[in-house]
Chains A and B, each alone.
Chain A
Amino acid sequence: GDSVTQMEGPVTLSEEAFLTINCTYTATGYPSLFWYVQYPGEGLQLLLKATKADDKGSNKGFEATYRKETTSFHLEKGSVQVSDSAVYFCALSDPFNDYKLSFGAGTTVTVRA
């Protein structure tokens, strides 16, 4: 079945530090890959996505590249801000599973001023 494994947190960084959150996946078909962000007390917001191998998703300074050979979709940001403090979820949508979303466990990121 489909599964997503992402780096366990929590992760604590200083402002302007480099952030990487690792994410690997297992899927039956050729999935689309997503990173969602959840701020305290809120629902999920789509941060970025990639629909096929070698695609790079980017938004708000965050980037992730769909690597089929390593089944990975690592999230990176070169210089984090306090406002980036949130929980980040890696997810996949598999056409062989009716496009249902499978989520990783989530990584809590705290950025200190």
Chain B
Amino acid sequence: GAVVSQHPSRVICKSGTSVKIECRSLDFQATTMFWYRQFPKQSLMLMATSNEGSKATYEQGVEKDKFLINHASLTLSTLTVTSAHPEDSSFYICSARIPLLAGYNEQFFGPGTRLTVL
């Protein structure tokens, strides 16, 4: 149980185009999903928190108009990188959080999406 998928796993696009990445919780409902960015040989950086039915909350320094997040259902969140540039090339990872139980929290991670902008 608690499987999270991402699509696509890899994408190459031209500079100036937009790219959409999907994150799905396959066997549970996730009211909260998270989007992370990981640079080579570095840790994960939280970009934003995505809550179903409401606007995403972005971390400091992350451009909300650049990285559009939509959490339209309890099993799907999307990240759209708008007008992508080479510096947006990175590994993007999503996670889904099970509903909080007695204060306990666990996130389940997707396999990641490798974005390369030419």
Contact at B105–A105, with CB atoms within 8 Å? no
Closest to B97 in A: A99
Could you tell me the distance in whole angstroms from the C-beta of A21 to the nearest C-beta in chain B? Answer: 14
Cα–Cα distance between A108 and B44 once the two chains are bound (Å): 14
Could you tell me the distance in whole angstroms from the C-beta of B61 to the nearest C-beta in chain A? Answer: 15
Instruction: Say if the beta carbon of B111 comes within 8 Å of chain A.
Output: yes
Which chain B residues border A61 with CB–CB below 8 Å? none
Main secondary structure of the interface of B (DSSP, over half): strand
Is the interface on chain B under 10, 10 to 19, 20 to 34, or 35 or more residues? 20 to 34
Count chain A residues whose beta carbon lies closer than 8 angstroms to a beta carbon of B.
Answer: 23
Contact at B111–A106, with CB atoms within 8 Å? no
Which chain B residues border A44 with CB–CB below 8 Å? 44, 93, 95, 109
Instruction: Say if the beta carbon of A35 comes within 8 Å of chain B.
Output: no
Could you tell me the distance in whole angstroms from the C-beta of A98 to the nearest C-beta in chain B? Answer: 8
Which residues of A come within 8 Å of B, CB atoms? 32, 34, 36, 41-46, 49, 51, 89, 93, 95, 98-101, 103-106, 108
